[in-house]
Structures are given as C-alpha cells and as structure tokens.
Amino acid sequence: KQEVTQIPAALSVPEGENLVLNCSFTDSAIYNLQWFRQDPGKGLTSLLLIQSSQREQTSGRLNASLDKSSGRSTLYIAASQPGDSATYLCAVRPAAAGNKLTFGGGTRVLVKP
Amino acid sequence: DVKVTQSSRYLVKRTGEKVFLECVQDMDHENMFWYRQDPGLGLRLIYFSYDVKMKEKGDIPEGYSVSREKKERFSLILESASTNQTSMYLCASTYVDRGLYGYTFGSGTRLTVV
C-alpha cells in the first residue's frame, strides 16, 4: 500500500530564506505527483504537477523535483515571503490505484517578517 | 481555469438532519471525489465517481451516500447527521487518464453538527 510522508510537520523561517519541503513515497509506480497549498480553513490550491517521466517542474519562485526511483520529491520556494505561510501537501497518483490520490500529512510553514 | 464549486462555505446542522453537500465542476471531468479533512488525520476519501450514476466507496463511506445524476454535479449526502461528522469537506475532480492531469479542488465546506 502506498504511503506518503512529509517531514517536517512544521517549519518556521525568516522572510527571504529559501524553503525546502520534503515528500517521500514508498511505491515508485506512480503516474504523477502533485503539490498543493492550503490556507487555514480553505480548500487545496494546486501548485505544481510532475509527471512520472519528468524530473522537475517550475513555476515562478517554485520548483519541484521528482526522483521516482528513490521515492522522493522536494518543493523549493525561493526567497520566501510572509504570504507563503500555509500548509503544503504532496500527493501521488499511484499507477495501481486508478485515479485515487494518496496524500502526505502536510508541512505547515510560517514565514516570519 | 477549471473550477470546482462547493455550494456552501459554512454549514451548521442539527443531529439527525439530512444534509446535502453540493459540488459542481465546469470542465467535463469524468472523475469526482469527496474527501473529509480532520486535524491529525489528514484527507480521507469518502466516495468517488468515475461517471454519471457510477459511484464507489472510498476509505470511510459509513454514514454517507452520494449522487451523480449529471456529469458536472456530485452530491454528498449525510443521511442522519451526527456530531462525529463535523469536519471540513472537500470536493475534487479530474480527467480519466494516466496522470496527464492533476486534481482540482473546491474551496471546501466547513460543516458543524450540533
């Protein structure tokens, strides 16, 4: 059974520092991996989608890498801002489970001004 | 942009009431999903649907049912609401494919059962 882990569960950094968020998964048979952002009391906003054949995706200050063989993805947020404070969730779409995502527990990020 | 719209942001219902949570998507997605999210438990799949009138149980279907009469609309029904169903409910949709597309989520419905 696929398991997705995000460590640390919480992270606090000063404004301007780069953020590095980790996601690991146990089964490398995946279609894709998706990073989401969730603000308190809100829904999930998709940040980046990486196909299983890709190594990385970039959008503005965000860069996500994928190493499928080792079961790892990393989300980098450059030059963090207080507005980046949120919970970040990664989710994998297992090849064996159709369209059902498996989520990590999330990393809660606080960027201090 | 794909939009997934949940009809209510906040709901307060009484124990024993029948509750309907509505979700509509505007991009002709075949797949639709209902999750609930609780502190410490993460997101848990309640039900999902691959097509109109088709539904499958997720990980925690007890106490819930669903309806999908039209492709764009997926309703979650709490037959007799209980306090342990107080939670954040999230709807999502995606295309049927081999992972070329991601999931799109709605803004969530915070349900409180008193």
Taking CA–CA distances from A93, the nearest residue in chain B reads: B99
Which residues of chain A lie closer than 8 angstroms to B92, CB-CB?
44
Taking CA–CA distances from B1, the nearest residue in chain A reads: A46
C-beta separation of B5 from B106 below 8 A: yes
Token pair of A41 as six digits: 């009391």
pLDDT value of residue B102? 87
C-beta separation of B13 from B19 below 8 A: yes
3-state class of A66 per DSSP? Answer: strand
Read off the pLDDT band of B27 (50, 70, 90): confident
Which residues of chain B lie closer than 8 angstroms to A49, CB-CB?
101-102
Give the tens place of pLDDT for each residue, B30-58. 999 999 999 988 999 999 999 998 999 99
Round the average pLDDT of chain B to a whole number and report it. Answer: 93
Which residues of chain A lie closer than 8 angstroms to B56, CB-CB?
none
Alpha-carbon distance B75 to B62, whole Å?
A: 16
